[in-house]
Amino acid sequence: MKSVSKFRYSQRKINLNKQPIIIAIDGTSASGKSTNSKLIAQQLGYVYVDTGAMYRTLAWHCLQKRIDVHDVKAVAAVCRKWKTELKCVAGDFRSVRLLVDGYYPEKEVRTAETSAAVPHVAAGPKVRDWMKKAQRSCIEFGDLVMEGRDIGTNVFPETDFKFYLDAHLAERSARRAAEGVDEDLAKRDQRDSQRAAAPLMIALGAVIINNSGETPQQTTAKIIAEVKRRMAARG
């Protein structure tokens, strides 16, 4: 198959008569997007896509190549040149990975240095355009649970299954601290919501869930119940 936008795709045939279901999970930092998305993917048998990891991979790659992450044009140029591949891997659930030169930097993208670079590389309009194409192409792997900050507003605005997760700032900060991460979430929220390209906002038609005081299992149960209700309504 001919590559598109520098992606390499598998040769798996897609059933064009069946439109893949996209469950969009957006929300603020430490609102439980990753944990709940993984649980949902596992329980429904869908493919999990962590869009944040894609931006982290780009940030890591820029650092490796000594690209100034504050230079919007330089970062955009990287997106035009780097050799990437989307790969679906199996485990407790299936998930999509963005490989660079055949390598997935699983641990490297979680370092403090990479984390600090992510907001800068993610702010560029050209970068977000590139990521949107990559993320939309994930439908070749089937039904998806995709988490991020602009899935329901920018990547898959047409999906009927949009959710926006949030929690009280104090609780979100405590969650981050429990992970050993010191981050000013209020500042991060403000930066994400005010950026020019695909800002963090609640998608039209999204179900808003404030999961303060809830377990991930409780939040996941709410989301799955709503997904099944909407699927039944669609017939």
Q: Is the distance from CB of 189 to CB of 176 less than 8 angstroms?
A: no
Q: In which band, very low, low, confident or very high, does the pLDDT at 13 lie, cut at 50, 70 and 90?
A: very low
Model's pTM, two decimal places? 0.86
Q: What is the pLDDT of residue 4?
A: 35
Does the domain at residues 21-46+143-235 carry the CATH identifier 3.40.50.300? yes
Q: Which phi and psi angles does 103 have, rounded to 5°? A: -120, 140
pLDDT of 99 strictly over 80: yes
Q: In which band, very low, low, confident or very high, does the pLDDT at 6 lie, cut at 50, 70 and 90?
A: very low
Share above pLDDT 70 across residues of the chain, in percent, rounded to a whole number? 90
Instruction: Let me know if the fold of 21-46+143-235 is the same as that of 51-141.
Output: yes
Query: Tokens standing for 36?
Result: 């709940």
> What are the boundaries of each domain within the chain?
21-46+143-235, 51-141
**Which CATH fold topology does 51-141 show?**
Rossmann fold (3.40.50)
